[in-house]
Chains A and B, each alone.
Chain A
Amino acid sequence: MNEHLLSMHDLTAADVTRILDTAESFREVGSRVIKKVPALRGRTVVNLFLENSTRTRISFELAAKRLSADVINFSSSGSSVAKGESLKDTALTLQAMGADAIVIRHSSSGSPLQLTRWVDAHVLNAGDGTHEHPTQALLDLYTMREKLGRLGGLRVAIVGDVLHSRVARSLSFGLVTMGAEVTLVGPPTLIPPDAPAWGVQVSYDIDGVVAKLDVCYMLRVQKERQRLEYFPSVREYARLFGLTSARAALLPDDALIMHPGPMNRGVEIDSDVADLPESVIEEQVTNGIAIRMALLYLLLGSGASGGGPSAPEGRAYDR
């Protein structure tokens, strides 16, 4: 494993497979009565959440606690960051307190990479601005592999506001690494013009895409984007790009419906569709804990020293 988890670009296909396999072995822990293993006893994991995200923080917190690590939650509302302390000074403070790993969620793209320059701790990116959200991508890959048995050759559409979505970036990069065929779908104003450079297809027509999919992955619509003139109205968005019951009916029988949450029911996804058996949105949440346990274990625990596939330092952002 690498020293940090910053971007899906840092991971080879072998790295991804190792992470998913490790998560597989940890998922069983969550179904025990005593949901705890001693793998990270005595290690300190700091959740540095400088942007609100209750679900991701809870998922990381549970993952660390199930590995018996000591967990500190540091969020902007009650922290010195709100009083104007710089990210660097916050990082140096955590460093001085002996953090072994820092899980960072931040509204600024690139801040996890910057953090690695200031601390010795392992850094895990829990979502940075409109850049990446690699743990979300890994739990999504885990869910797809578990449900469909493979990743290579899967036909996946990622639908919605790709331009501002860190989930879409990380998932696209990860799926391409694993040999899946990715199509980005959305209004042209919300697809980066240069997205084909990621090795993906682009379509502005969801109806032309759904019938050939293995996975239909819906992104959350940020309603405030409407004010910035990316699309005329939430109503028109739902009509042109939402996963309606009629569109869901066109999906092949064993296709999955996924969403990173939280959902806007009735906007990007109809309420009935979200509750279909093909929808695996809750399983994504469950798998998220296992993936984050696997990552903490591989970066911090005895998994860190055990040979295995590793990407050389400095490969980050080479693509």
Chain B
Amino acid sequence: MTADRVVFEGARVIDPAGGTDEVRDVVVAAGLIAGPEEAEGAERIDARGMVLAPGLVDLHTHLREPGFEHKETVVTGTRAAAVGGYTAVAAMANTDPVTDHAAIVHEVRDLAAAAGLCDVFPVGAITKGLRGEALAEMGEMVQAGVRVFSDDGNCLPDPRILRNALTYAKAFPVEVVLADHAEDASLVAGGHMHEGPRSAALGLAGRPAEAEEIVVARDLAVARATGGRLHLCHLSTARAVDLVRSAKAEGIRVTAEVTPHHLTFTDEDLRTYDTNLKTNPPLRTVDDRDALRGGLADGTIDVIATDHAPHAVEEKEAEFDVSAPGTIGLETAIAVIWTELVEPGLLSIGRAIEAMSTTPARILGASDHGGPLEPGRPANLFLFDPQATWRVEPPFASKARNSAFLGRVLRGSVQATMLRGTLTVAGGKATR
């Protein structure tokens, strides 16, 4: 499906970067968005009743390659991304070897380019080997194009290393973002779910809410002191949202993300010991979930990121305390957000696209992505049918099937995804 010219007819175009929400035709020619004069002779795709938006951008994806190809590969992970409407993903650094030097950055990006399904922006480790001790060679990785650094999965163990990293990053000619997984290691040691009445009854050791609050407060204090640029991964508690809200009001340079699963589930859903709902940070209370929804709607939380965390079947079909934490999310994210937030009127579709495309593209420095969908721009976009209803079940494009949403019926499905004018998904199926 590499038609040189395509016109999407009669789509509702949601383009936060261009400030538009209108029904119109979108013409693509030679890999770029084109003007209506180029529609002549183009392949026509009936998009009436559908949403057309800039391709989604995931700030938090685990592609697992190199090192953990039994869970996911760059090819299967980027195929899952395309099926979910994504044209760019940030690949987390907890690979083996760790992405703590430029060679791995190049390797991951080359694998993605060869697959041609979705652009990949490798995230660099903040510390060597994710050990929280010595800084990784950030400067070399910046020269290789890295804009976001994170030891994700491992919370930075002490404020000194964060302080040094935020300070060191001032030397770079481009803005570099440091992203932290905010859970205090001593408080969550041995824990498997949110600490509360449900964990007490299930006999599962808890990961208390204050483990997140403490690190968010600590990181914000360090960001204030250094003037550095901080990003907080997958917030899960109401008080963390409050802390970020007041930090922003104060002018601290911080952004924050939330996952579709934290916007959907609560700790009560763990009563069946479903290991697909075991995540770090854990699923929390109804009040926390509602505060995350509120923070997303009012802009305190900037980004919806999936934390797509594929695992092999045997790593999830195990006892709860030994099963691996995390859920896949790329293929379900936009439908979950539509079903849980947009359709019930909790979030506008414009705000959703902003949080899933425009803003993460800006944070990543992915200037080809996130819109605006204007003539001359790269044709990175996706087409979404908000009427379609489907049930989440294998097979997935991802190599993994550990979805927290298994069995749920969702509204809205991705019909087409286009990367630089090439359809990576057509008729809801990956084309390659």
Contacts and interface: CB of A to CB of B under 8 A. Distances in A.
Nearest to A314: B272
B426 interface: no
Contact of A169 (B201, B271, B272, B320): B201
Given A130-B203, A194-B199, A317-B272, 18 more contacts: A86-B318, A87-B318, A88-B314, A88-B317, A106-B319, A108-B319, A109-B202, A109-B203, A111-B319, A129-B203, A132-B203, A169-B203, A193-B195, A194-B200, A197-B200, A317-B201, A317-B271, A318-B271
B161 interface: no
Interface string A46-72: 000000000000000000000000000
Given A108-B319, A110-B320, A194 B196 contact: yes
A129 B321 contact: yes
B272 A109 contact: no
B273 interface: yes
B205 interface: yes
A168 to B, nearest CB: 10
Contacts of B203: 109-110, 128-132, 166, 169
Interface string B176-204: 00000000000000000001110111111
Interface on chain B toward A: helix, strand, loop, or mixed SS?
loop
A28 to B, nearest CB: 35
A86 B197 contact: no
A274 B418 CA distance: 75
Of the listed residues A87, A128, A317, the one surrounded by the most CB atoms of chain B closer than 10 A to its CB is A317
B197 A110 contact: no
Interface string A148-160: 0000000000000
A113 B196 contact: no
A192 interface: yes
B200 A110 contact: no
Interface residues of A, number: 27
Of the listed residues B199, B272, B319, B320, the one surrounded by the most CB atoms of chain A closer than 10 A to its CB is B319
B184 to A, nearest CB: 15
A151 B317 CA distance: 40
Nearest to A109: B203
A133 to B, nearest CB: 10
Interface of B: 195-197, 199-205, 271-273, 314, 317-322
A166 B202 CA distance: 10
Contacts of B205: 130
Contacts of A129: 203-204, 321
Contacts of A319: 201
A14 to B, nearest CB: 22
A201 interface: no
A195 interface: yes
A194 B285 CA distance: 14
Contacts of B318: 86-88
Nearest to A87: B319
Contacts of B271: 317-318
Contacts of A230: none
Nearest to B275: A114
B272 A113 contact: yes
11 contacts: A87-B318, A108-B320, A108-B322, A109-B202, A109-B203, A166-B203, A194-B199, A194-B200, A195-B200, A197-B200, A317-B272
A190 B322 CA distance: 23
Given A106-B319, A108-B321, A108-B322, A113 B200 contact: no
Of the listed residues B199, B204, B320, the one surrounded by the most CB atoms of chain A closer than 10 A to its CB is B320
A316 to B, nearest CB: 8
A110 B201 contact: no
Given A197-B197, A317-B272, A114 B202 contact: no
Contacts of B201: 9, 169, 197-198, 317, 319
A192 B198 CA distance: 11
Contacts of B196: 194
